[in-house]
Amino acid sequence: MSDAPGGGAVQAPATPPTQPSNDQNPQSNAKKSKPAPAEGEKKLSAAELKKQKQAEKQARRAAAKTSSDAPAIQKENPPKGGQKQQKDSKQAPKDDKSRPLPIRRRPSQSNVPTAKEVKKDKKDTRPTDLFFGHLYTQPRLHSTAGATKDVHPAILALGLQYSSYVICGSTARMVAMLLAFKAVIESYQTPVGTSLARHLTSHHLSPQIDYLRSCRSLSISMGNAIRWLKDLIIKIDPSTPEAEAKRDLLYEIDNFIRERVTMADQLIAETAVKKIEPGDVILTYASSSIVEQSLLRAHQNGVDFSVIVVDSKPLFEGKRLARNLAKHGLRVRYFLISGSAHAVKDATKVFLGAHAMMSNGRLYSRVGTALVSMLASSMSIPVIVLCESVKFTERVALDSIVTNEVAPADELLSEPERQALLPLKPKSEEGEEEGQDTKGVMKWIESAENLQILQVLYDVTPAEYINMVITEYGSLPPSSVPVVHRLSTNT
């Protein structure tokens, strides 16, 4: 129930492509006498769609057993907001035989985590509903335990890499996902009776995406890529032989990565290098692959400049960047975000990576970016964002609260910090043998009344702090983001 707003928001880009496939469903389902749901479905968000699809399946079984009560139920469901409990209770009086079905299906479906989620939510609402209450949906999956059997091993591995931040960063996640999808498509075989175009997206790719989402919410670029892929699959002529269709898909995916990421990065780096002049001090925040690429290229070109890396808890992404740059012979200084006022003072330009560029020109990026760009613009230092157009989105944001990704609070306290709290922990409450390690500290903090540790991953930088956005289409002001977004999606 509570996942509807959060999940819906994240999934929004994924929704439209699924609709055509659903529009086609009625045709195939027509034999099973189910023409009804098409109109209702269009208004639904993806989360609701998912539930409805389950309901469809249940209904289909019910329809196979009994006669045709199910369509009637289906008709009723969509306006109700797809709430499972409600639906069950609705079903109960109408069709007694279909009632045990959902229960039976649950273990195999990805319902197990959802059931947990409801429980967890009740516990969480107490401390967390202050700012980001609407974002606390589903605890992140850190194992493959909850996964459906449909999920491809490559995706399972990828999901774990996501949730543990092994693969981190908008572009990296998108590329990794597309590569994993290649493996999925390669091993895919269209079941008899359907075509690849109709079956692949909704029945095979969707569980994969759902699993990835349960590991960590999808990035904007991932959403864009998924939308593009779904679009591509739907456009495949059903008459194309399966092998050929798959080959085309794989080729297109490679092409996408090459065009939208690899080449785009090169173009951006080329432009960005021109902005670096001898004697410059380039400040960057956290870590961005494209910023790193640009700086290294400028260094190879023999431009004499130095770099300041500002970093923050808990991911310390900038450390890797700083180390890498320094290994290539650049002069690097390293600050934490609390010293950013001092770091910005010494800088002459600020290069930032992006998670996404919003249509209102705002930059959605690693939390802390807004602080750095605010300080830089208050000192009249140009702030330049390097961003591939694949990260542009038609969504808009005004603050960092409405849309964001909440990270588990326990990530925030590092091991030494927990260790430091250890002596302070009251011993009397629980067994001493249990509470004396750092896990006990975490438990203590979690159970501490009125105390909440908050961690989100992104923030939104106002457009007025950004002087320039460099994309593969050229350098533009943030106000041109929507134009470029239209340009890049229409072609």
Partner 1 sequence: MAQSSGAVAPGLSSFLASLKTTPVEPSIEHLISLLKRRQIRNSRPCAVATTALLLRVVGEFKGKNSAKLVDRIRQVGKRLTSAQPREVVVGNIVRRVLGLVREVVEENLDVDTTATSDVGQNAPHSDALHRPSLHSSISTFSPLKHAAAEPHEIASFPEEMSDSGELVKRPPLLSSHTSAAPMVNSLFGLFSQPDTPSTSNTPTGHQSPDSKAMLTSVNLERLADFSSSKFDMKAEVMDGIRELQDELDQSDDLMAAYALDHIHANEIVLTHTASTSVQKFLLAAARKRKFTVVHVETHPHDHHATHSALLTGKKRDGHEGEDEDAWKPLRLAGVRVVMIPDSHVFAIMSQVNKVILATHTVLANGALVAASGARMIASAAKAHRTPVVVVSGVYKLSPVYPFNTEELIECGDAGTVVPYEDGDFVDLVDVENPLYDYVPADLVDLYITNIGGHAPSYLYRIVADHYRTEDITL
Footprint of partner 1 on this chain (CB under 8 A)?
A: 127, 130-131, 309, 312-314, 319, 322-323, 326-327, 331-343, 366-368, 370-371, 374-375, 378, 399-401, 404, 412-413, 416-417, 420-421, 423-424, 444-445, 448-456, 458-462
Judged by CB, which is closer to partner 1: 111, or 400? 400
Judged by CB, which is closer to partner 1: 94, or 328? 328
Query: Taking the CA of residue 304 as centre, how many other CA atoms within 13 Å lie in the half-sphere pointing to its CB?
Result: 2
Query: Least distance from C-beta 197 to partner 1, angstroms?
Result: 42
Q: Is 80 helix (H, G, I), strand (E, B) or coil?
A: helix
- Which ranges constitute the DSSP H helices of 257-366? 264-275, 289-300, 317-327, 340-346
Place of tokens 């002001």: 477
Judged by CB, which is closer to partner 1: 252, or 411? 411
Query: Least distance from C-beta 261 to partner 1, angstroms?
Result: 27
Query: Least distance from C-beta 25 to partner 1, angstroms?
Result: 41
Token pair recorded at residue 99: 């009632």
Judged by CB, which is closer to partner 1: 166, or 448? 448
Query: Least distance from C-beta 343 to partner 1, angstroms?
Result: 8
- Exposure string (b/e) for 58-90, b if CB count within 10 Å is 16 or more? bbebbbeeeeebbbebbebbbeeebebeebeee
Query: Least distance from C-beta 300 to partner 1, angstroms?
Result: 18
Judged by CB, which is closer to partner 1: 64, or 448? 448
Judged by CB, which is closer to partner 1: 90, or 320? 320
Judged by CB, which is closer to partner 1: 299, or 366? 366
Residues recorded for the chain: 491
Judged by CB, which is closer to partner 1: 63, or 376? 376
Query: Least distance from C-beta 268 to partner 1, angstroms?
Result: 25
Judged by CB, which is closer to partner 1: 66, or 338? 338
Query: Least distance from C-beta 464 to partner 1, angstroms?
Result: 10
Judged by CB, which is closer to partner 1: 84, or 319? 319
Four-CA torsion 68, 73, 76, 80, nearest 10 degrees: -160
Per DSSP, 192 falls in state T
Q: Distance (Å, rounded) from C-alpha 239 to C-alpha 442?
A: 58
Judged by CB, which is closer to partner 1: 266, or 324? 324
Taking alpha carbons only, the member of 298, 382, 374 closest to residue 348 is 382
Neighbours of 347 (CB within 10 A): 25
Q: Distance (Å, rounded) from C-alpha 40 to C-alpha 77?
A: 9
Interacting residues of 386 by C-beta distance below 8 A, sequence separation 6+: 268, 269, 272, 288, 290, 291, 294, 351, 352, 353, 354, 469, 470
Query: Least distance from C-beta 353 to partner 1, angstroms?
Result: 15
Token pair recorded at residue 471: 């994309």
Neighbours of 234 (CB within 10 A): 18
Report angle CA 257, 260, 266 to the nearest 5 degrees: 100
Token pair recorded at residue 157: 């591995």
Taking alpha carbons only, the member of 382, 176, 377, 165 closest to residue 287 is 165
Query: Least distance from C-beta 423 to partner 1, angstroms?
Result: 7
Amino acid at 327: K
Judged by CB, which is closer to partner 1: 258, or 345? 345
Query: Least distance from C-beta 459 to partner 1, angstroms?
Result: 4
Q: Distance (Å, rounded) from C-alpha 283 to C-alpha 308?
A: 5
Token pair recorded at residue 466: 């950004």
Neighbours of 24 (CB within 10 A): 18
Judged by CB, which is closer to partner 1: 189, or 447? 447
Quick check: 154 and 211 in contact, CB under 8 A? no
DSSP assignment of 216-272? SPPPHHHHHHHHHHHHHHHTS-TTS-HHHHHHHHHHHHHHHIIIIIIIHHHHHHHHH
Q: Is 471 helix (H, G, I), strand (E, B) or coil?
A: strand
